[in-house]
A and B are shown apart, each in its own frame.
Chain A
């Protein structure tokens, strides 16, 4: 087995709000090895972004990590001192946000922001000169397939289009992501043609640089052809883990099956069938399976005990009593 770069085990994250305690993440697990491309899919509000924020340690102030470990290169990120964490963020991992409009500081030129990151992402011993930083920034923009990098460095974010801004964000994350890149729905706020371009670019870049990637999406189509391993998330739990091919050809969890069926097809067949019901309220979750209320194959004990992840062979794991347990 290859070296694990990132291993999340049994992660629990709660949010303290006025109404009470939102038990959002419930035993999330995730493994990313070196140079592996991993996807996480699931509908909105199922905890995908929360998981990534926990890995980056940028959870909101009212979030409480109630349990679990996040091992990154053998160190538990949750236990790191701030200095260590800052070093890690500067040199090893980075994240691309959903909305490129909001991810750039509106009052600084792109160049100023990118050069800042470049300056701090280099090794601390010998500080790069202004010229070196500029050259590196231009290189980064070029690698993000941006034409006229010099002009873009001198532009303010509002002078660029959405697609260009997302490319700038990719360039920025490349400056500090030497090992792991997290892409949180990088194309969702863009139109489909641009989204497709961005996804192709991203794939090219990570393969060329040998980065590990976690790609988050609620669209099955966007991750297909990009990732080698897929996790399906539902209501703060990982319900299924499988190699991408395996998952698409042989989905086993009832939620995954319904999710894949819900994708509209160009070949006709009318409106696809959806999944009845909605994600349970995180305020009043039971100890049982969180999908129980929407599941067609629900059994009595599903409501009272949560299924652990059962290994069903082929690196395929599923959290459902239909495939193991009593």
Chain B
């Protein structure tokens, strides 16, 4: 893949021009970069890094936002801002791990099914994908994580298992229509192997939609991860996961609202950031109206 990108020589200036035409895309990019930086440098940025781990300080429990604790403290007296900052790490890790597990098999299956369109291979791959899509995603993830022991790792596995068919479907829709394009036939006539046709003729024409979907999906994967944590099937305490924090604070609503509202707002911010960024990526790959 790297090779094809460098062969097609990506035009950075033109792409940036198309991307930045919409100001909100730039905002999205800013949010995502900020979140990523904060996650990376969490130990240096968090006012109380120790609060991200096992820590109890009952005298300071459930304090409303003040100068010492800008987002307030939770039921164990832990600083919520610090925990939110560390929470970014788990959210982003979720997105990165799930997407990197999902995209490769999903895309390859879609390409292969599209290449052998109408045949047995196509049917087996696409009907399997359909079966996975037919189960409501959260239900599937819930049942998988509840069978296995709840942990961040198992939550990632569960989400990955339900996510690949989306890539297979997306790529299949493009590759199956490109299959009969004259340039693919021309490649066949020139004696190209199926491998060449799949990865060098068809795949480069699918990259735009794949990248767009990946960016948009990052937000949704984070949301599903947070949902799993919210119902107790994802990250386990005292892990500072945004979903877990929202669910912890739910017991104290509406009086001690800050315990769940600040982590919840953060989830909104991250997902919004990825969505805006995704729109920008889509614009970047869109054909220019001349």
**Chain A positions near chain B (C-beta within 8 angstroms):** 56, 58, 60-62, 86-91, 93-95, 97, 99, 102-109, 112, 116-117, 120-121, 169, 172-173, 175-176
Contact = CB atoms under 8 A, between A and B. Distances in A.
Closest 8 CB pairs of A and B: A90-B191, A89-B191, A102-B182, A61-B118, A103-B182, A105-B183, A86-B191, A107-B204
B188 interface: yes
Nearest to B122: A61
A88 B182 contact: no
Most buried by B among A93, A105, A169: A105
A105 B183 CA distance: 5
A86 B189 contact: no
Contacts of A87: 191
Contact of A86 (B183, B193, B201, B205): B193
Contact of B7 (A62, A86, A108): A108
Interface string B160-187: 0000000000000000000011110111
B191 A169 contact: no
A56 B186 CA distance: 10
Given A61-B119, A62-B118, A112-B7, A104 B183 contact: yes
Contacts, number: 74
A97 B185 contact: yes
B8 interface: yes
Interface residues of B, number: 23
Nearest to A117: B190
A121 B191 contact: yes
A111 B185 CA distance: 18
A56 B189 contact: yes
B181 A102 contact: yes
Nearest to B207: A107
A174 to B, nearest CB: 11
B117 interface: yes
B257 to A, nearest CB: 51
B190 A88 contact: no
B96 interface: no
A112 B181 CA distance: 18
Contacts of B119: 61
Contact of A176 (B8, B190, B193): B190
25 contacts: A58-B185, A58-B188, A86-B191, A88-B191, A89-B190, A90-B190, A90-B191, A91-B191, A93-B189, A103-B182, A104-B183, A105-B183, A105-B187, A105-B204, A106-B183, A106-B205, A107-B205, A108-B7, A108-B8, A116-B192, A116-B200, A117-B190, A169-B186, A176-B189, A176-B190
A191 B7 CA distance: 33
Contact of A97 (B117, B118, B186, B192): B186
Interface string B63-92: 000000000000000000000000000000
Contacts of B117: 61
B204 A108 contact: yes
Most buried by A among B7, B116, B119, B182: B182
B52 to A, nearest CB: 45
A172 B188 CA distance: 13
Contacts of B191: 86-91, 120-121, 176
B180 A60 contact: yes
Most buried by B among A56, A90, A107, A109: A107
A105 B118 contact: no
A127 to B, nearest CB: 15
Given A61-B117, A99-B182, A175-B190, 7 more contacts: A97-B186, A103-B183, A109-B8, A112-B7, A116-B192, A120-B192, A176-B189
Nearest to A103: B182
Contacts of B116: 61
B190 A120 contact: yes
B205 to A, nearest CB: 6
A189 B189 CA distance: 21
A34 to B, nearest CB: 20
Contact of B190 (A62, A106, A107, A172): A172
Most buried by A among B8, B117, B186: B186
Given A61-B117, A61-B118, A103-B183, A95 B192 contact: no
A323 to B, nearest CB: 37
A97 B183 CA distance: 9
B189 A94 contact: yes
A121 B189 contact: no
A57 to B, nearest CB: 8
Given A61-B118, A103-B183, A95 B201 contact: no
B158 to A, nearest CB: 36
Contacts of B187: 105
Interface string B11-55: 000000000000000000000000000000000000000000000
Nearest to B185: A58
Contacts of A108: 7-8, 204
Contact of A102 (B8, B183, B193, B201): B183
A122 to B, nearest CB: 12
B182 A97 contact: yes
A176 B116 CA distance: 25
Nearest to A99: B182
B218 to A, nearest CB: 25
A126 to B, nearest CB: 18
